[in-house]
Structure 1
Amino acid sequence: MARRVILPSLPVADEDVARMRLWEAGRHMARQEMWHELDALILHADTARLTTPGGASEARLMIDGAQSDVSAAAIHAIDDGQVPDLSGLTAIERIAAEQGESHAIALVVAQAHLRIGQAWSRSATPERDRSHAHFERAQALLAPYDARALGAPCLAALEAELAEMLSPAVDDVVSAYRRLLALDPGNALHLRAFGLACQRAESEELPLLTQHAARLLPQSGPDLGQSGYVWLFFDALKHCDAALGALDVERFIQGMRDILRRQPSQHLINELAAFCALSMGPDRACKQRSAEKARARLHDCLSWILSEHLHELHPALWTTPDTTPLTLSRHTLPRAHIVKGREMALRVIARHFADQLADGSSIAFSPAGMYRLPAI
């Protein structure tokens, strides 16, 4: 039946192109030692809150690209069981020190320390002291700068990530995210990051998510509307039945409708469709009755998301629906994964509309909505 689902597919979506372009720009300028130019571009993108169509920070993508050569070499060494040579990182630290009051290159170095510290944390023999040394060094590099005074969301976002890595006190993490949300209230990715931080802090009972849905969402401002509730819970719901059990399902559904009314991009539509189809799919068995009821309600939302909004398939979002957009990367998925994502999406859509396809009809998707084509 999947062959009777007519849906245009984009192997590389606009979001992928935008992320690659920015990431590559950061890497290119670092390789060419164009530090002053990179500094200016990062500062402009950050203070102007420039984002990709999918909401990723342009400044953060350039920062990630600029540090990639240094961190990649170190991470490869760690994965091979070796202690990495950090002379390249030390050289960039010296350059950051020469930038005076500007914090942009310090962000590049701090991001590299964060990546290397995370690599030590997940190595075959996790090295807590080594990982924390990198997190602490990143924190020290950023300490002289005031994100609020500078109007620098990237600085606040990196500080929030480091607070989660370093602080056993949940209040410290919450305070860091409150500062970030106050600086950049319209960015949904910050709420997603905060929701994941709450889940990791108290994954069984999740009082933090329900508390901060009430406390923090008013700070997120009118730019997010009811969608703020969706983004706070979105990634936690993929992994945690307790989050599903604690969910206000009606509010979440209203929030999804709000997202697609305010920003009807095909990237977001595919992301929400894949979430409802796969992360909330019937194959997921929830032990809690309330969680199972919530899962089923969210899965049912697939009908109106597909029929009212989808007209362009982005296979990459269907290949890895349980990953998050918080790890920035330039890399597109291999062709085999794109093919797999397309096949999976068409199979899910065909199964969902099996009754309409049973008589041999086809279903087609266009900007005007979904419609049936009778069998010939």
Structure 2
Amino acid sequence: MARIAAARPGPFAPQPTKVPQAAPEVDIEAYLDIPIRDLTAEHDTGRAAQDRGLFLARQDRWTELAREIAAADAARSASPGGVPLAEALAYGARCDVVHAVEHALAEGAGGTDAALLSGIMALEAVRQEHRHDPYVNLVVAQAHTDIGWAWRGTGAATTLPALNRQRCAAHFDRAARLLAPFDATALDSPAIAAAQCALLAREPGAAPDLADRYGDLIDLDPKNFRAMRALGAHLLPRVGGSHAALELEARRTAARTQAIWGAGAYAWVSFDAIAQDPAACDRVDVDFFIDGLRDIVAARPDQEMINLLAAYCAITLRRNGADAGADSPRARITACAGWLIRDHLTELHPLIWAHAAQGFDNNARVTSTQGFAARGRADGLRAIAEQFRDDLDRGLRITFTPDGPVTGGVTGGV
């Protein structure tokens, strides 16, 4: 990784309300020096697992693929960013089929178009040959789930055409039937538990069962903070949960995982929920949440995690603008960007900051990876510069080292 001075960022969208004004780009270039990782260990590890799954599926080596997914699942192997490698392998194995359907729908394919059925029928044929293997069933079930979401789209449910609703429901139902014979706890399989939780989360009024099922998943893999984040988002009122259930499950999860995360699980369960719902932000126990952030850093001080938490505080929580009830909790949590950046950040991961600006929305369309990363780099540099505003105003140069930021001598006023 080469150390580079911050490059001049390209054009980017105007910032949401309440994002502090930082030094102009030219000041950042001249006075802020930080290592920038455009591609990280997260990308390398996740991509390698996904490519492996894709390769084995294309070679029809399904027994070998199932064995590797099972091994990754049993070992709880994960990328530095927390993505289970069993999921990455399974995604690689189904991505050809899912992408073909997504492309066909984007091109306006009708309900009888062969491109919508040929791929999934091929997977179903593979499943017939391995009908008792839980991990082959997992891949096919997840393909149905992904295709169901492709039919569902991102628009309002009330405007969804009847055909889309029918196809969406049919794929989800098929996924549920494929997974039903497999007991995730008995199999000691977080991957199967996660797939079952994802299906349950689409059902209105399923919050009580969902909390219990997510509890089983978290017990199977308590280091998987992504499951905790998903639990919180799926307990919001807009998807059939309640603020009371969200708070209860955040506290229950923190108690169950205290040995690993300290208070961190309270922050993880609340993480996406309070960013999406101002009322949830208004109700959050801010002191508990901030204690959770500190415990997460103690448990996982790597730069992937520090960038994630800093970007969340500096960017994600501010993107939805002001809200009378949530202003005070939001302000206290966003202020944590200061100690995260000053005390723990040693390098910038632009893609994490870019995702933070999208609210970590996996459905967000990225038309240019290069432009996406450039916007993340620009957002990250501005957030860092804001924390050193006084030093920059005095013309001091800030250099980030493995031991933290170092303030250099005066090089001229800004």
Q: 2:372 aligns with which of 314, 337, 344?
A: 337
Hey, what does 1:169 align to over in structure 2?
206
The one-letter amino acid paired with 2:128 is: A
Distance in 2 between the 1:357 and 1:72 partners? 47
C-alpha displacement of 1:306: 0.8
Task: Map 1:177-192; keep pairs closer than 5 Å.
Answer: 177-192=214-229
Distance in 1 between the 2:201 and 2:152 partners? 13
Deviations 1:85-104 (A, max 9, x none): 31221222222232253211
Which consecutive residues of structure 2, in runs of 5 or more, have no partner in the other structure? Answer: 1-26
* TM-score between both structures, scaled by the size of structure 1: 0.93
C-alpha displacement of 1:193: 0.7
Give 3-state SS (helix, strand or coil) of 1:198's partner. coil
RMSD after superposition: 2.3
Q: Which is worse superposed, 262-271 or 80-89?
A: 80-89
Distance in 2 between the 1:317 and 1:216 partners? 25
Distance in 1 between the 2:369 and 2:220 partners? 36
C-alpha displacement of 1:320: 2.3
Hey, what does 2:384 align to over in structure 1?
349
Distance in 1 between the 2:287 and 2:239 partners? 24
C-alpha displacement of 1:129: 1.9
Q: 1:276 aligns with which of 296, 301, 313?
A: 313
Distance in 1 between the 2:346 and 2:212 partners? 41
Q: Which is worse superposed, 309-318 or 87-96?
A: 87-96
Distance in 2 between the 1:338 and 1:360 partners? 28
Deviations 1:309-344 (A, max 9, x none): 001100011112054668599x99622222222122
Give 3-state SS (helix, strand or coil) of 2:236's partner. helix
Distance in 2 between the 1:337 and 1:92 partners? 33
Alignment of 1:91 onto 2:118 = no
Assess if the C-alpha contact under 8 Å between 2:190 and 2:220 holds in 1. yes
C-alpha displacement of 1:282: 8.6
Assess if the C-alpha contact under 8 Å between 1:186 and 1:221 holds in 2. no
Alignment of 1:359 onto 2:394 = yes
Hey, what does 2:407 align to over in structure 1?
372
Task: Map 1:106-255; keep pairs closer than 5 Å.
Answer: 106-122=137-153, 125-126=160-161, 127-199=164-236, 201=238, 206-255=243-292
Assess if the C-alpha contact under 8 Å between 2:237 and 2:243 holds in 1. no
Give 3-state SS (helix, strand or coil) of 1:320's partner. helix
Assess if the C-alpha contact under 8 Å between 1:315 and 1:339 holds in 2. yes
Change (3 A) 1:167 1:286: closer
Assess if the C-alpha contact under 8 Å between 2:355 and 2:361 holds in 1. no
Distance in 2 between the 1:324 and 1:116 partners? 23
Assess if the C-alpha contact under 8 Å between 2:57 and 2:93 holds in 1. yes
Change (3 A) 1:339 1:296: same
Distance in 2 between the 1:367 and 1:333 partners? 31
Change (3 A) 1:184 1:278: same
Alignment of 1:105 onto 2:136 = yes
Hey, what does 2:340 align to over in structure 1?
305
Distance in 2 between the 1:303 and 1:41 partners? 42
Deviations 1:229-256 (A, max 9, x none): 1110111122211121111111111111
Moved over 6 A (4+): none
Assess if the C-alpha contact under 8 Å between 1:238 and 1:322 holds in 2. no
The one-letter amino acid paired with 2:83 is: A
Task: Map 1:284-323; keep pairs closer than 5 Å.
Answer: 284-288=321-325, 291-323=326-358
Assess if the C-alpha contact under 8 Å between 2:346 and 2:401 holds in 1. yes
Which consecutive residues of structure 1, in runs of 5 or more, have no partner in the other structure? Answer: none
Hey, what does 2:44 align to over in structure 1?
17
Give 3-state SS (helix, strand or coil) of 1:287's partner. coil
Q: Number of residues paired by the alignment?
A: 373
Deviations 1:39-79 (A, max 9, x none): 11000001111111111100001101100011111122222
Q: Which is worse superposed, 201-210 or 76-85?
A: 201-210
Assess if the C-alpha contact under 8 Å between 2:253 and 2:266 holds in 1. no
- Percent of residue pairs identical: 35
Hey, what does 2:67 align to over in structure 1?
40
* TM-score between both structures, scaled by the size of structure 2: 0.85
Change (3 A) 1:340 1:214: closer
Distance in 1 between the 2:129 and 2:320 partners? 55
Change (3 A) 1:96 1:327: farther
Distance in 1 between the 2:230 and 2:241 partners? 18
The one-letter amino acid paired with 2:99 is: A
Assess if the C-alpha contact under 8 Å between 1:364 and 1:373 holds in 2. yes
Distance in 2 between the 1:92 and 1:199 partners? 34
Distance in 2 between the 1:294 and 1:52 partners? 31
Distance in 2 between the 1:325 and 1:147 partners? 27
Distance in 2 between the 1:332 and 1:311 partners? 29
Give 3-state SS (helix, strand or coil) of 1:16's partner. helix
Change (3 A) 1:324 1:224: farther
